[in-house]
Homo-oligomer: A and B are copies of this chain.
Amino acid sequence: MIRALTVSIDAMGGDAGPGIVVSALLRALQRHTNVQFLLHGDEAQLNPLLAKHAKLKGRVSIKHASGRVAMEDKPSHVLRRGRDTSMWHAIECVKQGEADVAISAGNTGALMAVSMFGLGIVDGISRPAIATIWPTLKGQTVVLDVGANVMASDEQLVDFAVMGEAFAHVIFGLERPTVGILNVGAEEQKGNDAVKGAAQILRNSSLPMAFHGFVEGDDIAKGTVDVVVTDGFTGNIALKTAEGTARLIGAYLRQSLKRSLLSRLGAVVASGALRTLRRKLDPRANAGGIFLGLNGIVVKCHGGADAVSFASAMDMAIDMANSNINARITADRAALRAGASQAMQA
């Protein structure tokens, strides 16, 4: 008998506790009728939460874990002492083949360390990366790495390009998504050695990829390309700068609309439109990040995720589990290497 697709969930990971995970499950069950869920965490907390909802029965199982990873725990500490945590158990299930994908809203650094330790890295890739989906004028763009690595060589940026392209293929359904490398200018001679080297590799090889060249910071939100590649230092800072800018503009907007009676009135009349905008600006609306380059699918939800965003992380996880992303990554990476060595021999 083939078992149903199974999602392994760290129920103790987020700031809000397991309550939002259960609310997210109620949404996900309706959308994905043929999926099973494993909840890892404290039985004493989880059992009563589940007992309230009869429709969860038969679709959701609890696997007790006595410990949990705290947001401030160092990854090295979790690797040494974290084997009884809900996060560790969630990854372990994927490793053992009991589940197809793991989700956690916990400590990002610890989740990456536990995932690398448990699952190992895909053939042909040197380091995993964290990808996120960025709203743009044209729709959505994948940006990676947003924080797994503080540095990246030219070859690692090529790894990220291959992984990001495969992810965009799965998530956006594009045959060959366009890929750009984030830089301080579009011209070939601009930038540091890593971005110039990576661009040269992608330009010269017989591409299994639609490589656009360099893009700049404002190209992310323009949606110039489907995938933006950068190192985890720059990517993390760009992401948080964008979040900070969105909050600043939200604050400006509230101030402006409160300034006079007339503007208050306008805000009341346009409140529906402003609510839509607020939802778009809210970083919690995003599903979070996905770890690419591991022998297994791991989705990282925002620590402050609510039920809506946790459920959309589950959607993404299920899409990924139904895909052959790692086969595409390995094949594309090998094709790029073969192209590069042919180019050297020529």
Contacts and interface: CB of A to CB of B under 8 A. Distances in A.
Interface of A: 135-137, 147, 150-151, 182-184, 190-192, 216-222, 230, 232-234, 236-249, 251-253, 256-257, 259-260, 262-263, 265-274, 276-277, 280-281
A272 B280 contact: no
Q: Is the interface of A mostly helix, strand, loop or mixed?
A: helix
25 contacts: A147-B184, A151-B192, A184-B237, A216-B236, A217-B238, A218-B240, A218-B247, A221-B245, A222-B247, A238-B241, A241-B242, A242-B242, A246-B249, A249-B249, A249-B277, A252-B280, A253-B253, A256-B270, A256-B276, A257-B273, A266-B266, A266-B267, A266-B268, A266-B273, A267-B270
Contacts of A136: 248
Contact of A184 (B218, B232, B270): B232
A250 to B, nearest CB: 8
B272 A269 contact: no
Contacts of A150: 184, 190-192
Contact of A182 (B237, B242, B247): B237
A243 B216 CA distance: 11
Contacts of A240: 216-218
B244 A221 contact: yes
A259 B241 contact: no
A228 B191 CA distance: 21
A265 B274 contact: no
A15 B302 CA distance: 43
Given A147-B184, A218-B244, A237-B238, 6 more contacts: A217-B237, A217-B243, A221-B247, A222-B247, A260-B273, A270-B270
B271 A266 contact: yes
Contacts of A277: 249, 252-253, 256
A222 B137 CA distance: 25
Contacts of A237: 182-184, 216-217, 230, 234, 237-238
A244 B217 contact: yes
B184 A236 contact: yes
A263 B190 CA distance: 45
A150 B192 CA distance: 6
Nearest to A280: B252
6 nearest CB pairs, A to B: A266-B270, A217-B240, A266-B269, A218-B244, A263-B273, A221-B244
Contacts of A267: 266, 270, 273
A248 B135 contact: yes
Given A217-B244, A241-B238, A245-B246, A233 B269 contact: no
Contacts of A243: 217-218
A274 to B, nearest CB: 7
A183 B237 CA distance: 7
A233 to B, nearest CB: 6
Nearest to A249: B249
A248 B219 CA distance: 11
A149 to B, nearest CB: 10
Nearest to A266: B270
Contacts of A276: 256, 259
